Amino acid sequence: MVTDVQHTPTQLAAFREARRRYVTSPQGNLSLVNTEWITGDPATGQTSYGVAGTWFPLPAGESGLRLEAAAADGLSVDGVPVDGSVVVRGKDSDRPSEVRFGDTVTGYVVASEEGTYALRVWDACSDANRDFGRIDAFDFDPSWVVEAQFTPIQGGRAIGIEHLKDGGKTRERVVPAEITFTKDGADVSLAAFQDDGGLLLVFSDATSGDSTYGVGRFMRVVPDADGTITLDFNRAYLPPCAFSYHFNCPMPPAQNRLSFPVEAGEKNVLNAQGALLH
């Protein structure tokens, strides 16, 4: 068992409070109310559900979308009121734009791997934020702080990752190393893939769909210089799609679908009455 001072009930409580603040923030998981891909005719554009303005794809290779709106619509991009046409730069730009639709409603533009763009809309006063009660979670269990081996794969290994809304299609992700450990006599090998400049571990286990969220759970992992890696399953957290239907989350690859229960980490999102939020 690992006894690093960072892996304690007090540290876990701080982690969970930070999670609560994040998911309830104005652009936290509970605030996402729409993700709409803008793929209409570049000449006529398309509207987006619930917000003002007409949105147009840009020529291939340009980041973002073009927005047309009147001053009466009350929109601003990067703090500047819109009256006419403006480019809203995507999150793949080195200077992504933020759109403000109203006092509590904001948005930005995200890119697909194919080079198309979607408008994401966030409402700090969303129904989900209003109805949210808490993130249900297991109590801290030191036995789920696991010391593992991190063995680099020369050149990395590409694996196909399914996403919740992709109808079984896979997206290629690079796995830079094998993560191996033994737990209660079972040898385990996990794949963490590169995501947002770090390593993301997506897994499910025997609790998934029973006492924990059915799609699975996430963990951010960081290898140590000596070839080890500490897996603190107490910090396993729910994916964004557990909070809003408008996310499209990666699903666990086959080797990360554990046959035994991992009774540690976050379980489910509950409403104020203690039932599942959705």
Q: Domain segments of the chain: what residues? A: 9-25+134-271, 29-123
Terminal-to-terminal C-alpha distance of the chain: 36
Report pLDDT digits (tens) over 185-221. Answer: 999 999 999 888 889 999 999 999 999 999 999 999 9
- Distance CA(192)–CA(199), nearest Å, equals 6
Could you tell me the sign of the dihedral formed by the alpha carbons of 214, 232, 262, 254, in that order? Answer: positive
Q: What is the pLDDT of residue 140?
A: 97
Q: Identify the residue whose tokens are 């006092």.
A: 103
User: Residue 2's pLDDT band (boundaries 50, 70, 90)?
Assistant: very low
Report pLDDT digits (tens) over 169-180. Answer: 999 999 999 999
Report pLDDT digits (tens) over 249-262. Answer: 999 999 999 999 99
Mean pLDDT score across all residues of the chain: 95
Amino acid letter, residue 248: N
Q: What is the mean pLDDT of residues 134-141?
A: 98
Which has the minimum average pLDDT: 3-17, 50-64, 113-127, 242-256? 3-17
Residue 92 has pLDDT above 90, yes or no: yes
Residue 4 has pLDDT above 60, yes or no: no
| Strands 266-271 and 132-137, bridge-based pairing | antiparallel
| Strands 228-232 and 65-69, bridge-based pairing | unpaired
- Give pTM, 2 decimals: 0.93
Report pLDDT digits (tens) over 31-78. Answer: 999 999 999 899 999 999 999 999 999 999 999 999 999 999 999 999
Q: What is the pLDDT of residue 147?
A: 95
Helices then strands, each counted (H, E), the chain? 2, 18
Q: What is the pLDDT of residue 7?
A: 85
Q: What is the pLDDT of residue 5?
A: 41
Q: What is the pLDDT of residue 124?
A: 98
Phi, psi of 62 (to 5 degrees): -95, 140
Residue 137 has pLDDT above 60, yes or no: yes
Q: What is the pLDDT of residue 194?
A: 87
Report pLDDT digits (tens) over 161-170. Answer: 999 999 999 9
Residue 95 has pLDDT above 60, yes or no: yes
